[in-house]
Amino acid sequence: MQRPVSPSRLKIACSNCNLRELCLPVGLSEDEMQLLDEISHLKRGYARGDYLYRSGDKFQALYAIHSGSFKTQVLHEDGREQVTGFQMVGEIIGLDAISTEHHTCDAVALEDSEVCELPFDKLEALSREMPSLQRHLHKIMSREIVRDQGIMLLLGSMRAEERLAAFLLNLSQRFAARGLSPTSFQLRMSRREIGSYLGLKLETVSRAFSHFQEDGLISVKVRSVEILDLPRLHGFVGK
């Protein structure tokens, strides 16, 4: 669980990336923070559609999203693709690649984005010296496993509109954790991408949006969403 951080505070706290506040907010001393900063470096200039890495690429580093957002997707031989997540500022991607030393999914920018590259061998070495960093790295990996469990629950046992409600509530909560409005935000992904993530066709996603709007739960105009009745949207999931 990440605590709310105002954008200005974030800027102050972060020398070249947002690691401190959002990704690694555990009890590291200033000196330890410094060491972490030294092994990481910022990579700029990713535009919508650009790949941060591709499935099969050799694993070198984890990435902390510094600005913008990404999607991750796995591809099946026959061309089918499954979006496995949407990542926003402060989240870490690339954990899948530790297993085989090669990435097992693609990471694609959803908008203009920047990332902080964290060479994994250096991160491992540092975490041997810093138990709090070690523990934090473990928690990040575990959190990803818990997140995946939640998606399995969603895909395996919820109906279409429940899935969309759960998706919107998840976005809402993550925006709130970043000091942004939990009820009014822009979607950075297409209906097709949402559908892929939720195991639905894009038309079904569009209809569910329309239905929520008719019910007065949300107001939606293409990519901009306003949640009008957060409690009722909550009640919708798991009912």
Interface with DNA (CB under 7 A): 159-161, 190-192, 199-207, 209-210, 220-223
Backbone angles phi, psi at 66, to 5 degrees: -95, -40
Confirm or reject binding of residue 156 to a second copy (CB under 8 A): yes
User: What does the per-residue mask of binding to a second copy show for 69-88, with x meaning CB under 8 A?
Assistant: -----x-xxx-xxx-x----
Burial 26-36 (b: 16+ CB within 10 A, else e): eebeeebbeeb
Confirm or reject binding of residue 146 to a second copy (CB under 8 A): yes
Confirm or reject binding of residue 16 to a second copy (CB under 8 A): no
User: What does the per-residue mask of binding to a second copy show for 99-118, with x meaning CB under 8 A?
Assistant: xx---xx-------------
| Residue placing its CB nearer to a second copy in the complex, 47 or 141 | 141
69 binds, among a second copy, DNA, none (CB under 5 to 8 A by kind): none
Residue with tokens 């085989």: 100
| Residue placing its CB nearer to DNA in the complex, 105 or 205 | 205
Residue 86: how many other CB atoms lie within 10 Å: 21
What pairing do the DSSP bridges indicate for beta strands 113-119 and 81-88? unpaired
Give the closest residue to 48 by CA, choosing from 110, 101, 138.
Answer: 110
Under rule CB under 8 A, how many of the chain's residues touch a second copy? 45
For the chain, the first-to-last Cα distance in angstroms comes to 25
Sheet holding 81-88, edge to edge: 51-53, 106-109, 69-75, 81-88
Q: Which amino acid would we find at residue 33? A: M
Minimum separation from the CB atom of position 233 to a second copy (A): 15
Among residues 52, 97, 165, 171, which is the contact residue for a second copy, using CB under 8 A? 97
Query: Which of helix, strand or coil describes residue 67?
Result: strand
Would you tell me which residues interact with a second copy (CB under 8 A)? 74, 76-78, 80-82, 84, 95-100, 104-105, 124, 127-128, 131, 134-135, 138-139, 141-146, 148-153, 155-157, 196-199, 238-239
